[in-house]
Each structure stands twice: as structure tokens, then as C-alpha cells.
Chain A
Amino acid sequence: MVSTLVKTNIKDWLLETIKPEEFSEKNLKVAGILFEALVPQNKIAEVAREYFSQGYFLESITAVDFSECLEIVYHFNQWGPAKRSCIKILAPKNASGAPIATAPSITSIYKAADWFEREIFDMFGVVFQGHPHLKRILLPESSTIHPLLKSFKGEPKGSDVEQCLKLLKEDAETFEITYPQSIKQQNNHYYLNMGPQHPSTHGVLRLLLHLDGERVLDAEPVIGYSHRHHEKMMEIQNYLACWPNFGRLDYVGAMSYNFGYALLIEKAMGVVPPPRVEYIRVLTTELNRIASHLLWMGTFLLDLGGFTPFFYCFDDREKVLDILEAATGERLTYDYFRFGGVDHDIPQEMVPAIKKFIPAFKERLRDYDKLVTKNVIFEHRTKGLGLLSKENALAYGVTGPALRGSGIAMDLRRDEPYSIYPELDFNIPTRTDGDVYSRYVVRVKEMEESLKIIAQIIDKIPAGDFKSGKLPKNVPKGEYYSSVESTRGSFGIYLVSDGTLNPYRIRLRTPSFSNLNAIIDMLPGCLISDVIAVLGSTDIVLPEIDR
């Protein structure tokens, strides 16, 4: 990969060549980044190019609204041990008001920047110069608001119906002219709308497919159909009240999102949870990872037309949920973690239940192996399909099992260790092919690894408190980044705290967002049937993408 030819340390290069306006080193364990630098607007392309050439991927771009300017924040990270750095540029607010601010685009360097910049345009109104098709991504295109600006004070009560009626009317009017005219004229080529209501788009994704017969020439995911204003919601309520949001962000693997938020606030407050809590957290997270992968496996096979494995997977999932429910009281949208602890102690009968579950599930995994993995039809449907090259993975910032299927052993449980993961013995399964089949195999192997982790810690849970005592009242002023390996990839939370009772800005870096973006390059050349397989293999959860 490109990163092997490391010329100089990126920090030295920045200090020498770019001469940032502000520069400060941070503690990776507390602030989540190694250093941050404020560079002039016109240098950002150069900086991004250097980062790209050194093998960094773009973790997220976001913006923070200040009274005089918008701060646009880029987080770069590397595969392997975490070396996250934060580059900022300022976009002064336009006095005339429209556009609100402008900034240069880095889409030509990082493909991932495409959607990130569109999101900032959508949410903050920053116009990125040089972006090929800057349009709204999460809100309806006719929308006029930029909700994450602090000047947006909410809509009047009861305006939702009005807005929806307006959208309905627009929808009825624009029924005929959805597609670009230029393409409509070409023979044999046509557009197909897959979604938002489609059995296999895993929720409310709309895929706009440009087809020649059944072969995909071009695909564009249209997202935002389940935008639930998580980020704005968190800004207007206190830290404690954000918990339900983290349970509903990715409802399938909610526990790791809980984990991320708990880590973030504990870092910021300087709280160390008791050891029992760490064990409970890892235990529940790994169980949840199994449940999430099982759900994915079931729906993925359902997409491929195999009905029966879906039921077996759900049967297993119910068993995991029984165990989790006894501890958390919920089946999927967990609000289980608390700052410095967990909501409830795990019940006594959980340990024997898990011990009973492990061998039973191992047997099931063997059955899946025979029924599905080695099935000739399944192999034909998945092998050599939806290839994700390392280059594209880097350009799109793909993380999680999708990346590990392409041969990169990146896992934040190893690379940016948190909680008790460094003490545990587990492998990071990888496959080198980068196709649908390898992503499938990686996830199945991950379930085995999770089982291994559970088996390791189930007997070692120390006695003690399940909650730490007194907590500081609020989060000290500053910026924090915390990142965990969720079921779908690396989930990051970027918090700007102004020292008050509620966050000034919370940015959620959700893995599926980048992973879904990458299918733009995986789909061309596929058939419609393959679109389903490729989409299924990325394991997306729409509300997490749309936030």
C-alpha cells in the first residue's frame, strides 16, 4: 500500500510545510487525537493530498458553528495503530447570508469527502467549491433550513403536517421528471428506483440504478429517508438525556454505540469505571455483536433467496436476546450503559445461561457452515462479486468487517484499545479477496471470535460495584473524540463541549455512512441480483447512516 513509503512524519511535514495557524498536541487517550492543526483554507487540498499519499483515510468531515465562523473539522486516521489527527479550517460566515459560508472541496482526493461535504452543506449551508454535485443529502431537496446552525431555533409546533403535505404535493408534481433528460434519451438504458420501500434495502434506502438490461452501469444511493435529527437533538438536551439516542442510532448493535458514548464522557470527565463494569460492558457488547451479526446473516441470506437460514439465525438471535434481556431489560434498543457504570447489575443466572449457549451456538455455526457457506449456489452467488479494493477502501474510509474482508486487519479493539480488550486473546479474522463472500466469512468468523472473548471473561467477572460513585457535574470545556469498534466498523463521536450542561456539538461518525458510500464503486457491472448481494454484504443500518 502507499503507506509503506512513509516519507516524513505527517506532523513534522505539517509544521514545516504548511505552518498551521494553530497547532496543539493532544493526548490520544483523552482527546482521542494526536494533534490538531488549524490550516488556511487554501492549503487543505495540499494537506489532504499528503495525508492520502501517506495512507491515511478520511474518518469524517464535520463542522462546528461558531458565532463568527464555521469551523470545518477533518479527522484522518490510519489503518493499524490509531494515529488520528484533526485538521481544521475556518469558513468565515458570509455577511450577506447566502451562501452561509464557503470552503474548498477535497472530493478530488478523497472519494469519501463527497458525502461528508454534502452533509455539511445540508446541515450547515457551507458551499464547497469544486464539489461536483453539491446537493442536499439527508433532508428533502426542497428543504430550506440548515438545522445544525445555532441560528436555527426549531420549527413551530405542529408544522410537521404542513411540511409533509408540501412534500406530498411536490412528489405528485415531480412524478414524471425524476431522471436526467440526457440519459433518458439513450436507447436501452433506463433508471430503476430500488427503494425506499423495497424488501432488500434494509430499511429505507433508495438506490437509483442506471441499467442496461439487468446490468448496472451506475448506481447512486439516495439516503435521508430515516433522518431522525440525532445530532440536533443531542445539542438541545443534557448529557444524560442523550442515552436513548445511542440506543437507537444503530438499533441492531446498540451496545457498542452505548460503549462509545460512555467512553467519551468518561474520558472527558476523567472517570474510571470499576472493573466489574468493564467486564459487564465487554460481555454485553460481544453478545450484542453476535446478535447483530446473526441478524445480518439472516437478512443477507433472505436477500439471496434462502428463507430457512433466516429462521435459524433468528432463533439463535432470540437466545442471545434472552440473555441480554435478563441483564438490560430490552431486546434491541439498549439504554444499558451509564456514565461510569451500567444501569443494572447482571443477574446471577446469566453466567450459566451463557455457558449453555456457547456450545449450542458452536454447533449451530457448524450447521450454517454446511447449509450456507459451503453451498454451491451460495458460493456462486457471492464469490468474486462486489469487489472492494484496498485503494477504494482507503478513499472511502471503509471500516469494519467490510474492510477486513479486503485484507486489512483493522480493528479498533486492537488498534485503539479500550476497556479490557488489550487483556483478551482474540484474533482479527481477515480475508484477502474483498468480495461478498469474504465479507460474509469475516463476519461469521467474528462471531466465533466474540464467542471466544465471552468464554474467556465469563468466569473472570470480578465482584464489585456496577456503578462508580460520584460523578463530576458536567463535562469540562474542550473537544473530545472517542472511537469504538462497533459491529459495522469504527464508530466515532466528536464532542465539542462548552462546559455547560449540554453538549455544544456532537458529531457521530457512523461506519455505515462510509461503507455505503463505497458501494458506488462496487456496483457497476453487477446484475440486479448482485446489487442485493453487495448491498447486503455491506451490512448497513439506515437510521445509523441518516442519523
Chain B
Amino acid sequence: MTLTGNFILDQTLTIILYGTIVVLFVSVNALFLVWAERKISARIQLRQGPLHVGFQGALQTIADAIKLISKELIWPRESDKFVFWLAPILVFAPVLSAFIIIPLSQHFVIRDLNVGFLFVFSLTNISFIGIFIAGWSSNSKYALLGSMRAVAQNISYEIPLLLSTMGIVMAAGSLRLTDIVAYQNKYWFICTQFPAFLIFITAALAEANRAPFDIPEAESELVAGFHTEYSGMRFALFFLGEYTAIFISSAIGASLFLGGWHGPFLPGPVWLLLKTYLLVFIVMWIRWTFPRLRSDQLMALAWKVLIPFAMFNILVTAILIYYQKFFI
């Protein structure tokens, strides 16, 4: 009895502790990412970006956040109130919980699941349900169109995203992220799996609704897409969700392809963060370079380019692994 009680208490405390850390990290990280994105885009566009609110505009996103918290929350007329309220939470919460499997170092991981990153992909899919019902419940045509696009996009891009990682899984022989990272202590998978890396980045961009794949919220077409009718903190949750999703995708990418915590001199977690931010920078760089794809071209890209290449990559990897075992 006491043992179980202690165990439960222990568990609860751990969850609360980790939860607090994760939520804090996510918020601060998202604020930082938004600021970084604004600065990076500004540099690319020959301007200064946030400058006057704090040093180099460092407090800009904090001001934005406080303002968004204090904004009026609007219920659109004839919206489905409960679902409308639920949607932002559904977008944000799963992305948050995806943090539990990111291995910061060999032993510093909240839950080392043996299904590994599959768990992340299945969680991020839940947020698409959130996006879908956000558009549905808003009772706005633009929002509905945006959410429809989001669903189509998600279904298509889930496949290349998973397929691109299969080569690594086959090579490392495990779905567990710690195993995969540990396998990379000699060389990173980006060296052997470069096409898969490109496919992964593309599909991850699409999964995170980032430009040039931001068709569900395509500003110039659908006003603001699925979150057209959301105001204040609810809108901020979508924003937070998007940036956290980028971070998660980049962290997974860094773990899978860039050797996770491996690196000289610095401790593992720092290396992972550095690699993650490098990937985040690439994602932002891509966003501020290209025009947006059309929805049908997006599908064509997934089905006609990414998936065949990913399949081919798996085939080649399989053959190589087979012969490696055969010869050595």
C-alpha cells in the first residue's frame, strides 16, 4: 500500500516536475523562435526587424504575448462553441507532450519509449484534428477551406515523413530514439541518408504548415486560413503550437540525421540544441525564400516525387544492409 502510494506520488511529482519544465521551456522557446524568425527574416529582407522594444527587440515577443493574453476572445456567430474552444488546445497539447521522448543525452530522456519517434508522429497527427475542427467550428468558409487543405496535406505528407526515416530504422535496427542516436557515434546518418534527409525536411515543413507549404493558413489566399476567426490567446495557442511543432520536428531531425547529442567538447544537450536550432534556421530560411505551392502541386510533390524517392531510398538501404551482412 505504502509502496504503491509512494510510487504513485513519485510518479505524479515527476510528471508535474517534467510538465512544468516542458511548458516553461516551450513557452520561452516559442517566444525566442518568434523573435529569431523575425530577426532572420528581417536580415534576409534587408531590414532591421524588432529593434526598439528591449535590446534588439528582445522583449518584442513578450509584449506580443502579454497583449495577446489580454485581448478579447471572440465567439463567432453560429460557431460550434465547445469545439471552437477545444481546437486550440488540441493543437497545442499533443505537440507539448511530444517532448517526452526527445533524448537530450544517453540517459537524459523523460520517457525512452521503444516505439520512439513513431509516437511523436502519431501525436502531431492529433493536432491536425485540432486544426480541422478549428476550421469546421468557426463557421467561416475561409477557415473551412483552410482546414480541408490541412487534412489533405497531413494525410499525404505523413507517408513520406515516415518512409524517409525507415532507412535509418533499418540501419540502426531500432525505433527507439536513444538507440538511433547512439548508433551515430561513428558517423551521422545525414552522410548515408542524404536524400532521406531532404525528404524529411520537406515533409516536416509540410507537417508543421510552414511556408512554402503553409497552404492551410495561406495568408494571401485564405485570409488566415483555419484560424481566421480566432482571436487573442486562442490564436496565440495556434502560433505556439506551430513553433513548437517546428522545434519538435527539428529536434527529431537532429536526433535522426545529425547525430543528436554527439559532438566534441560540449555536453550532449547543448549539441542537440545547437543542431536543432540549425535545422530551425534552415526551416526559416526556406520559408523566407520561396513562394507558396498550390494545394494540388503539394499533393503531386508528395505522391509523385517524395514517396517514390523515399521508397527508392529504402530499397537501396535494404540492399546495402543485406549485402553488408552478407559480406561482413
Contact = CB atoms under 8 A, between A and B. Distances in A.
Do A and B touch directly, given a CB cutoff of 8 Å in the complex? yes
Contacts of B294: 380-381, 527, 529-530
Contacts of B222: 528
A199 B219 CA distance: 7
Given A308-B289, A381-B291, A532 B44 contact: no
A305 B46 contact: no
A1 B223 CA distance: 41
A371 B291 CA distance: 10
B220 A199 contact: yes
B141 A305 contact: no
B296 interface: yes
Given A305-B211, A307-B45, A528-B145, A198 B291 contact: no
Nearest to A198: B223
B297 interface: yes
B141 A377 contact: no
Contact of B291 (A305, A315, A527): A305
Contacts of B176: none
Interface string A488-524: 0000000000000000000000000000000000000
B221 A306 contact: no
A44 interface: no
A190 interface: yes
B291 A301 contact: yes
A35 interface: no
A532 B215 CA distance: 13
A527 B211 CA distance: 19
Interface string A185-208: 000001010000011100000000
A528 B293 contact: no
Contacts of A13: none
A301 B219 CA distance: 12
Contacts of A378: 291
B41 interface: yes
Contact of B220 (A200, A214, A380): A200
Interface string B212-232: 101100111111000000000
Contacts of A308: 41, 44-45, 288-289
B220 A305 contact: yes
A527 B295 contact: yes
A372 B291 CA distance: 8
Chain A, interface residues (CB within 8 Å), range: 20 to 34
A307 B291 CA distance: 7
B47 interface: yes
Contact of A200 (B47, B221, B293): B221
A459 B294 CA distance: 47
Interface string B279-290: 000000000111
A372 B290 CA distance: 8
A432 interface: no
A381 B290 CA distance: 12
Contacts of A532: 220-221
A14 interface: no
A128 to B, nearest CB: 34
Contact of B218 (A312, A372, A375, A529): A529
A380 B141 CA distance: 26
A380 B297 contact: yes
B104 to A, nearest CB: 34
Contacts of B214: 305
Contact of B288 (A200, A304, A307): A307
Interface string A347-381: 00000000000000000000000011001011011
Contacts of A530: 294
B288 A527 contact: no
A302 B218 CA distance: 11
Interface string A334-357: 000000000000000000000000
A152 interface: no
Interface string A523-545: 00001111110000000000000
A41 to B, nearest CB: 45
Contacts of A192: 141-142
A532 B142 CA distance: 14
Most-contacted residue by chain B among A199, A307, A531 (CB, 10 A): A307
Given A377-B291, A380-B293, A529-B294, A303 B45 contact: no
Nearest to A371: B289
A311 interface: yes
Contacts of A372: 291
Contact of B296 (A200, A301, A312, A527): A527
A39 B212 CA distance: 58
A375 B296 contact: no
Interface in B104-150: 141-142, 145
Given A190-B141, A214-B145, A311-B46, A306 B291 contact: yes
A305 B218 contact: yes
A210 B294 CA distance: 19
Interface in B219-259: 219-223
Given A192-B141, A199-B219, A312-B46, A304 B291 contact: yes
A173 to B, nearest CB: 16
A375 B212 CA distance: 12
A309 to B, nearest CB: 8
A214 B45 contact: no
Contacts of A315: 46
A307 B214 CA distance: 13
A199 B223 contact: yes
Contacts of A198: 223
A532 B295 CA distance: 13
Contacts of A377: 212, 290-293, 297
A311 B47 contact: yes
Contacts of B221: 200, 528-529, 531-532
Contacts of A199: 219-220, 223
B303 to A, nearest CB: 15
Contacts of B44: 308
Contacts of B223: 198-199
Interface in B288-328: 288-297
A192 B142 CA distance: 8
Interface in A373-423: 375, 377-378, 380-381
A203 B46 CA distance: 26
Contacts of A306: 289-292
Given A308-B44, A529-B295, A375 B219 contact: no
18 contacts: A192-B141, A303-B220, A305-B219, A306-B290, A306-B292, A307-B41, A308-B45, A308-B288, A315-B46, A375-B290, A377-B293, A377-B297, A378-B291, A380-B293, A380-B294, A381-B293, A529-B294, A532-B221
Given A380-B293, A380-B294, 12 more contacts: A199-B223, A302-B220, A306-B292, A307-B45, A307-B288, A308-B45, A311-B45, A375-B291, A377-B292, A380-B297, A381-B294, A529-B292
Q: Which 3 A-B pairs have the closest CB atoms?
A: A305-B292, A311-B45, A306-B291
